[in-house]
Amino acid sequence: MRWFSFQSRPKNKNELQLIKFLIKKFGYRPKNLKIFKTALTHKSISNVSKGLESNERLEFLGDTILDAVIADILYEKFPDKNEGYLTKVKSKLVSRKTLSMVAKKMEIGKNIYFQKGRGINVHSLEGNALESLIGAIYLDGGFKTVKKSITHSILRNYLNIQDVLENEIDFKSQLYIWAQRNKINIEFNLMREELIKGEWNYEVEVLLNSIPHGRGKGNTKKMAEQSACKQTLELIG
């Protein structure tokens, strides 16, 4: 994307395209468009173009704001979890790999302003630009606004916390490793499967050498199995 002017008015085609992008992807209509242009300006172009500021400072700010918002969300969502668990989940959600994946889904790369022809891989810039845009929303709209954008637009449409938990907190793999070492057979018994108010609910029991151990519940069989394996690991120490 090419910015012909950093004046806020009149809005040219590229500025209108940016506004549309921010509304669609972040659920946010910008007040000061210049901040968002800066958020999408890579240092490769700001270093050679007089008067342009790179997005590095906004990236720093956005990184801090994203950390705070995710911590706030997890603190509210998991009132019974300890600091170690919350830290592990937060680290996964704000990791470079996760942010790059989310940014790619959001097609942020199509809007980054950088100098072409220098061997720059646009995909490597996307995660940083996502943080810069979060920083821009914070400056333009405040903490409540950026939290709303992250919660209702990014997490709802591009990053599912439960999926992250299933992939990261893999109690089932831990239990299988333990069972293999101790030559113990594992079975899963589906105790309950029912549809309640349009949402499936499952309850699973773990059997070790046909002896019942932990039980777990969840909205998917995989979630219920993970929960049952977690309780089993706690029971066997």
- CATH number for the domain that contains residue 64: 1.10.1520.10
> Looking only at Cα atoms, what is the longest distance across the chain?
73
Predicted TM-score (pTM) above 0.75: no
Q: For residue 168, name the pLDDT band (cuts at 50, 70, 90).
A: low
Same domain, 152 and 187: no
Question: Which has the minimum average pLDDT: 27-31, 130-134, 164-168?
Answer: 164-168
Q: Which residue, 172, 156, 177, 182, is CA-closest to 224?
A: 172
* CB-based contact 26:133 (threshold 8 Å): yes
Dump pLDDT digits (tens) for 73-91. 999 988 887 887 788 788 8
Tell me the residue range of the domain where 85 lies: 13-160
Same domain, 128 and 205: no
Dump pLDDT digits (tens) for 103-131. 999 999 999 987 776 667 777 789 999 99
Q: Compute CA distances 95 → 62, 68, 131, 160, whole Å.
A: 13, 14, 11, 14
160, 186, 219 - which closes a domain? 160
124, 140, 160 - which closes a domain? 160
Which residue is catalytic, options 15, 63, 140, 225?
A: 63
Q: Which residue, 57, 22, 32, 38, is CA-closest to 142?
A: 32
114, 137, 160 - which closes a domain? 160
Q: Is the pLDDT of residue 150 over 90?
A: yes
pLDDT of residue 196: 80
Q: Which residue, 127, 134, 135, 136, is CA-closest to 108?
A: 127
Q: Does 131 participate in catalysis according to the annotation?
A: yes
Same domain, 37 and 134: yes
Q: Does 76 participate in catalysis according to the annotation?
A: no
Can you name the residues that pair with 196 across neighbouring β-strands?
199
Which residue is catalytic, options 15, 131, 205, 225?
A: 131
